[in-house]
Structures are given as C-alpha cells and as structure tokens.
Amino acid sequence: MKIVQRVPCCSDETMLEDCKRMLRVLTQTKDVKVGRGRASTTIKTPKYRVDEEIIQKIKNSIEYYEFQILSRGDNTEGL
C-alpha cells in the first residue's frame, strides 16, 4: 500500500489534516457551460488533471493515519 510519507516534524494528526486538505483541493470541480442559447447545459469538470494513482495514494494515507491515531488508544473522541 503506497502512502504519502511522513514529514519528520509532523505528527499523525498533522499528516491526516494535510492529506485531507490535499484530497479536497485535488478533487475540486468547476462548472463549464456546454452548448449555446437555450440548449446550453453546465457540466462539472475537474479543476486539476491528476492521476488516479495519486488520488488513491492520498486516500490510502488518510486511512493509514486514521488507523494510527485510533490504534494509539489515547483518542477518546466519539465515545
């Protein structure tokens, strides 16, 4: 499983926030009008061209860092 490697000065929480931020930015879409006049429609297209491999790597990282936080046992959030 490929993940985004940890920056030496960052904790699991910081890496999780960074990965979520990267995913939110890279999956943004914009509305583009297609057609003319009354027949025009708007479609959502991605703002950035990103390989699916990179998106999957970020999703894997989110799962990994969430698991690391939960497996430490000091997180009592949600109980």
Q: How high is the mean pLDDT of the chain?
A: 89
| Cα–Cα distance, 65 to 4 (Å, whole number) | 10
Per-residue pLDDT averaged across 45-73, rounded?
92
| Length reported for the chain | 79
* pLDDT of 76: 55
Give the global pTM.
0.77
Confidence label for 4 from pLDDT (cuts 50, 70 and 90): confident
> Is residue 75 very low, low, confident or very high in pLDDT (cuts 50, 70, 90)?
low
CB within 8 Å of 69: residues ≥ 6 apart: 12, 13, 16, 75
Contacts of 18 (CB under 8 A, 6+ apart): 4, 10
pLDDT band at 79 (very low <50, low <70, confident <90, very high): very low
Strand, coil or helix: 23: helix
